[in-house]
Amino acid sequence: MLLEIKPYSVCPMITPTTITNYNRTEAELEEFLMFAILVAGKGAEQQAKKLDAFLKTAKTLGLPSDTTPFDFLEYIDKGFWLWNIMKLHKLGQYNRIGHAFKEILKFKGKLKKVTIEQLESISGIGSKTARFFILHSRPDAKVAVLDTHILKYLRDMGHNVPKATPAKNKYKAIEDIFISIADGLKMSIADLDLQVWKNYAKKA
């Protein structure tokens, strides 16, 4: 089926440069979790645009204007269109993302309280993705997103850390280093995370 994409979304498009928002609605949290899954290992701005277009497909399918991102996922999953619409928008990594999109539906209405452990139980969500969602959604989060930019920053600071996101059993020790740096700078972890991302993304 050929779909014509028209302007439509119950949520504003994710803006990577201002990613922290502690006042997201449940629908906005749904979109943000989908973005967290989609953006892993990819360019943030491009993936934000792809997700926005993906969600706007709801209009083409005739769904109500108050359809939330998870409502849309449920609808296209039941109709067996999920993979086709993902491919239409070239989301990539279809098995990982598709399975994750299906599994996160069990958190509908619970995203303000979902835990890192619950998120990590989803196939396709690792330590970094789970913490990315929590860190930029909750003001009291004491977690670090160990992506390539953060790890490069830590190496530049003289710490012996890997170039790629560490395995779960090694994650916390490195996470604690970044958290202690933020505390020493009297910055929130989210603010330091975003500052490092902006600085190191320019150098990439």
Residue type, 186: K
DSSP string, 102-158: HHGGGGTT-TTT--HHHHHTSTT--HHHHHHHHHTT-TT-------HHHHHHHHHTT
Radius of gyration of the chain (CA): 17
pLDDT of residue 198: 87
Residue 5: pLDDT above 90? no
Residue 150: pLDDT above 80? yes
Task: Give pLDDT tens digits for 190-200.
Answer: 999 999 988 88
Q: Which of 12-26, 74-88, 167-181 has the lowest mean pLDDT?
A: 12-26
**Among 105, 98, 82, 90, residue whose Cα is nearest residue 37:** 98
Does the reported pTM lie above 0.75?
Answer: yes
Q: Which distant-in-sequence residues (6+ apart) come within 8 Å of 103 by Cβ?
A: 122, 123, 124
Q: How far apart are CA 114 and CA 109, in angstroms?
A: 10
Q: Domains (ranges, CATH) in the chain?
A: 1-138 (1.10.340.30), 142-204 (1.10.1670.10)
